[in-house]
Amino acid sequence: MIVAAIDIGTQYSSCALSFKNSPTKISMKLLSTRNHAEHLGKVPTCILVNPNQVFDSFGQDAVDKYDDLASKGQNSGWMMFKQFLNTEVFII
């Protein structure tokens, strides 16, 4: 059994998990390998949706892809969602 914690913040998100048989050992799941030192283990809370309204990417991957599309003038129809309201969800 695994206990997981997901922090979906207004600007940054992160998650961690622990196994029931080793509750004091907590593993931070790095959502992206490109972290800034001041936000280690966190990624921007951003979701990128393609023109067909299908999820494309989350976090820094979404930011990088949208920036690349915009720099090439190919971002028409793409939707970037960011600055979420602070939300807490508990699943047992």
The answer for 4, left when phi > 0, alpha when psi is -120 to 50, beta otherwise, is beta
Q: Residue 47: in which H helix or E strand, if any?
A: strand 46-49
Residue recorded with tokens 């030192």: 37
Largest CA distance in the chain: 51
Q: What is the pLDDT of residues 54-73, one digit of tens each?
A: 999 988 899 999 999 999 99
Whole-model pTM: value is 0.66
pLDDT for the residue numbered 8: 76
Residue 15 pLDDT greater than 90, yes or no:
no
Mean pLDDT score, 29-37: 50
| Cβ–Cβ under 8 Å, residues 82 and 45 | yes
Look at residue 40 and tell me whether its pLDDT is greater than 70: no
Q: What percent of the chain has pLDDT over 90?
A: 33
